[in-house]
Amino acid sequence: MSKFELEEEYEFDFFLLGISSHEKDYRICWAINNILEISLEKEERDIEVSVKKSNRTSLHSMYTFYDDNQETIYRLIANRSNLGFLVPESPQADYFLHISDGYHLDFEKISTLINHIPFVLTTFKIDPESLKSKKNLIF
């Protein structure tokens, strides 16, 4: 009897911006809301990621905003938790700004605006295809 293996293929058609800052998630969220004029709100449930080494679950906070007018979804996601990283390949990113269906947006402008937040150290564009743990960013 032969075996068939199912391979999952995901589309990584979203913009991903890494944000480095030592501030708490709610402060970053507040500042991004103000500078981009959006309304990110905390999700009731955090993102759960299994940590193989400790056989425990890492929890990462997420804030979401759906822009009805532009049909765009914004997500601010914490990369760090008490047990590790959501995306270990990007330890320099404390947060990710994940933007879906925002083909009409100027991502360079968004990055520049966020860089002007006083407590943001830097922002950088990340290619989701290049990440080993890219499946952690599928929602």
Domains of the chain and CATH, by start: 14-137 (3.30.310)
Q: Within its chain, how far is the Cα of 5 from the centroid? A: 30
State pLDDT tens for residues 67-87. 998 889 999 999 998 888 899
Pairing status of strand 84-85 against strand 80-81: antiparallel
State which amino acid sits at residue 77: I
Is the pLDDT at 40 greater than 80? The verdict is yes
Sequence length of the chain is 139
Query: Could you give the CA distance from residue 107 to residue 28 in angstroms, rounded to a whole number?
Result: 18
pLDDT tens across 4-17, in order? 665 555 565 789 99
Average pLDDT value over all residues in the chain: 88
**What string of DSSP letters covers 78-134?**
E-EETTEESSTT-TT-SEEEEEES-TTS-HHHHHHHHHTSTTEEEEEEE-GGG-TTG
